[in-house]
């Protein structure tokens, strides 16, 4: 035999040298939850090891992430009070905007401070937009709220706004608002191909969601692959600086399509359900926890993600370093 592929697998050094893809701490983004009024971290039962932070524990976690070399943090606010329009999202004194200012000061430029731009954490009905008189999501009225939310987050110092609401035209609306207000350097991450997934379950606990029903009229149908690329192309045309595929695990085909076609960076979100499944299996001794974590994130990178949002970001970065 001439062809013996095993030659390149013979030793750890050879495997390392010939690896086609590898992880780096700067490719990792840590999602973080900050709970209004919390005096100490509050564990999230469905996501072992993840907490709703108090502002004090939040600062420590930012310092740890920066020291590990993590590329960025994505912030989610957990407010004490909610209403129909999500007014806390645009209040400069609201928990997400307060946490953003804290994060910018604490990070000191060592990582990119990013914020989730969506109303679901702040509305009493739990949807990502405002409702019309018939209880349906009003797309265009929601865009008005997104514009205001974008300005509040940019004023608080967010460097990148994560538009996760899946309203049609959201990137164009937010880009226009930022430009008009002089926030020309604030970047937009379009959650372009965001699917109506069962794997968001633990996240609902993490943000204390009030959702009744589902989000299938605005998040994408899991059956659709081509539509994912269409959404990505629309977000790029509207001015997105980065686009997202979410979730990651069950949508690696969509991620690969996006990576092949997108002129801007493509990120993927390893969501709460993906995290919870690995942690649960590892806790039962059914899988090797570290190997499963590394393999899962490497698979997302291999499919084409330029960066990965993962709740293990700081831990993985520590292993890599």
Active site residue 194: yes
Among all chains, which residue has been given the structure tokens 């309203």?
A: 167
CA distance to 39, 71, 135, 253, 304, per residue, from 28 (Å) = 28, 5, 38, 21, 14
Q: Which of 282-295 are b and which e, b meaning 16 or more Cβ less than 10 Å from the residue's Cβ?
A: beeeebeeeebbbe
Rounded to a whole number of angstroms, the CA Rg of the chain reads: 20
Give the C-alpha separation, 47 to 295, whole Å: 19
Q: Which of 59, 82, 246, 301 is catalytic?
A: 246
Q: How far is CA 222 from the centre of its chain?
A: 18
Cβ pair 50, 30 in contact under 8 A: no
The pair of three-digit structure tokens given for residue 134, joined into one six-digit string: 């018939």
Residues forming a β-bridge with 266:
243
- Count Cβ atoms below 10 Å from residue 4 Cβ, excluding itself: 9
Task: Tell me the CA distances in angstroms from 192 to 139, 155, 229, 231, 288, one per residue in order.
Answer: 16, 24, 8, 5, 33
* Residue-by-residue DSSP string for 122-145: TBTT--SS-B-TTS-B-HHHHHHH
Is residue 299 within a helix (H) or strand (E), and if so which, with residue range?
A: helix 289-303
Alpha helices, DSSP H, located in 12-161: 12-17, 55-68, 95-107, 139-156
Cα-flanking dihedrals φ and ψ of residue 156, to 5°? Answer: -75, -10
Q: Which residues are catalytic?
A: 194, 246
């Amino acid at each position: 035999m001439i062809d013996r592929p095993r030659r390149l697998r013979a030793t750890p050094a050879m495997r390392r040298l010939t690896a086609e893809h590898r992880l780096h701490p700067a490719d990792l983004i840590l999602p973080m939850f900050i709970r209004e009024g919390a005096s100490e971290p509050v564990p999230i039962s469905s996501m072992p090891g993840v907490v709703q932070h108090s502002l004090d524990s939040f600062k420590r976690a930012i310092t740890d992430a920066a020291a590990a070399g993590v590329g960025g943090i994505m912030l989610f606010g957990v407010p004490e009070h909610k209403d129909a329009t999500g007014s806390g999202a645009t209040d400069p004194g609201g928990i997400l905007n307060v946490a953003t200012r804290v994060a910018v000061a604490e990070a000191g430029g060592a990582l990119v401070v990013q914020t989730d731009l969506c109303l679901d954490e702040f509305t009493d009905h739990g949807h990502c937009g405002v409702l019309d008189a018939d209880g349906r999501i009003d797309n265009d009225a929601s865009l008005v709220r997104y514009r205001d939310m974008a300005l509040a987050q940019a004023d608080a110092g967010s460097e990148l706004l994560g538009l996760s609401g899946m309203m049609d035209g959201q990137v164009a609306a937010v880009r226009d608002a930022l430009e008009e207000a002089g926030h020309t350097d604030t970047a937009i991450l379009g959650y372009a191909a965001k699917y109506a997934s069962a794997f968001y379950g633990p996240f609902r606990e993490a943000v204390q969601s009030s959702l009744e029903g589902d989000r299938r009229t605005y998040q994408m149908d899991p059956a659709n692959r081509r539509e994912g690329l269409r959404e990505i192309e629309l977000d790029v045309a509207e001015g997105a600086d980065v686009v997202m595929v979410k979730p990651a695990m069950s949508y690696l085909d969509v991620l690969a399509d996006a990576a092949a076609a997108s002129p801007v960076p493509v990120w993927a979100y390893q969501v709460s359900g993906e995290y919870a499944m690995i942690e649960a299996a590892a806790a039962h001794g059914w899988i090797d926890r570290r190997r499963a974590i590394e393999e899962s994130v490497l698979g997302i990178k291999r499919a084409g993600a330029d960066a990965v949002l993962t709740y293990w970001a700081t831990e993985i970065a520590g292993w890599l370093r």
